[in-house]
Amino acid sequence: MNAPAKAVQSPEAFLDSLFDESILIKTGVDGLYGRAGVFEEVIDRFEDAVTKMAVGDKATRIHFPPGMPRKNLEKAGYLKSFPQLAGCVHSFMGDNADHAKLVGMIEKGEDWTEMQDATEVALTPAACYPLYPTVAAAGPVPDGGKLFDLKSYCFRHEPSKDPGRMQLFRMREFVRIGTADDVIAFRATWLERGEQLIKSLGLPCVIDLANDPFFGRPGRMLAANQREQGLKFELLIPVASDDNPTACLSFNYHQNHFGTLWGMQFADGEAVHSACVGFGLERTALALFRHHGTKVEAWPDDVRRVLWG
């Protein structure tokens, strides 16, 4: 059956319908799913449409793995701002006696995780995090700045029954590095392009001011500050709920924060500004399935034309 578009009772009911139709495959952990071939096909086609929009920009494409140096996540301040979301890879580093203890603990059903220690690898929380230190290491940024095209699986510890809130998901990102004017213009261009692309896919959307989920009480001030300065916008689409639409694209201006932090600078020593535009690939695919149904052959012709040419 072609799952009825439009009517979604609750995020959990939407997730169950995706399991029932084998669009997503259960693993037993909320937010950790297998993806059906058709789901991947939709993501591939959507990414091609994004690539087509950006083709004249001549961005440098880089593919980092979904893990990054733990030290760089620390230095980026991620544990200060979002400790609740961070994930670090742990591994067993003991001797034979420790190994016997580990196996014994598992056999007895005990918690064995104390037998592991943190490795040098943390899971990447956003596709752009591994980039900045590599830009700094490449030397002075040329006058015209730089533009990157990135994609990564990202981890955020936010288990949920909302299919739009996964623990491991992919983000396609464009990152612009340059003067304040350069990066603000870049963000403005993508605010227009993003809306145009999503509307061409027959999806209802609004763009709104947003903030990141900074942790704790001091976080509330950071979030208010971010909003006041208009540093983050999101493109929202009703996916698992009509009342709370889901952020599928985000448009972030970092001012010279990362430039100063990582020492990314022009030849005269001035810190660069940066901005990034992130496409949530799973969320966009889910929006398409929700609004057009699970049978892609039956999607409206104009939508199919954008994706399949």
Hey, which residues does 12 pair with through a beta bridge?
Answer: none
Shortest CB 28 distance to Zn ion, Å: 30
- Judged by beta carbon distances under 5 to 8 A according to partner kind, the member of ligand AMP, Zn ion, none in contact with residue 283 is ligand AMP
16 binds ligand AMP (CB under 6 A): no
- Binding residue (CB under 6 A) for ligand AMP from 68, 86, 126, 285: 126
Name the one range near ligand AMP by CB under 6 A: 42-50, 52-60, 107-115, 248-256: 248-256
Name the one range near ligand AMP by CB under 6 A: 36-44, 94-102, 277-285, 292-300: 277-285
- Judged by beta carbon distances under 5 to 8 A according to partner kind, the member of ligand AMP, Zn ion, none in contact with residue 248 is ligand AMP
- Binding residue (CB under 6 A) for ligand AMP from 42, 197, 237, 249: 249
Nearest-angstrom CA–CA distance, 150 and 172: 6
145 binds ligand AMP (CB under 6 A): no
- Judged by beta carbon distances under 5 to 8 A according to partner kind, the member of Zn ion, ligand AMP, none in contact with residue 128 is Zn ion
Shortest CB 252 distance to Zn ion, Å: 6
Shortest CB 22 distance to ligand AMP, Å: 20
Tell me, residue by residue from 12 to 51, as one string, x for binding to Zn ion by CB under 5 A and - for no binding.
Answer: ----------------------------------------
Cβ atoms < 10 Å from Cβ of 29: 10
Give a three-class secondary structure readout of 63-123.
CCCCEEEHHHHHHCCHHHHCCCCCCEEEEECCCHHHHHHHHHHHHCCCCCHHHEEEEEEEE
Nearest-angstrom CA–CA distance, 234 and 58: 24
Which parts of 248-307 interact with Zn ion (CB under 5 A)?
A: 276
- Judged by beta carbon distances under 5 to 8 A according to partner kind, the member of Zn ion, ligand AMP, none in contact with residue 276 is Zn ion
Shortest CB 80 distance to Zn ion, Å: 17
Amino acid at 85: L
Tell me, residue by residue from 107 to 146, as one string, x for binding to Zn ion by CB under 5 A and - for no binding.
Answer: -------------------x-x------------------
85 binds Zn ion (CB under 5 A): no
Cβ atoms < 10 Å from Cβ of 141: 21
Nearest-angstrom CA–CA distance, 231 and 210: 8
**Residue with CB nearest ligand AMP?**
280
Nearest-angstrom CA–CA distance, 273 and 84: 27
158 binds ligand AMP (CB under 6 A): yes
166 binds ligand AMP (CB under 6 A): yes
Nearest-angstrom CA–CA distance, 50 and 198: 10
Binders of ligand AMP: how many residues, by CB under 6 A?
17
Which stretches of the chain bind ligand AMP, using CB under 6 A?
A: 126, 156, 158, 164-166, 169, 171, 234, 247-250, 278, 280, 282-283
Interface contacts to Zn ion, rule CB under 5 A: 126, 128, 276
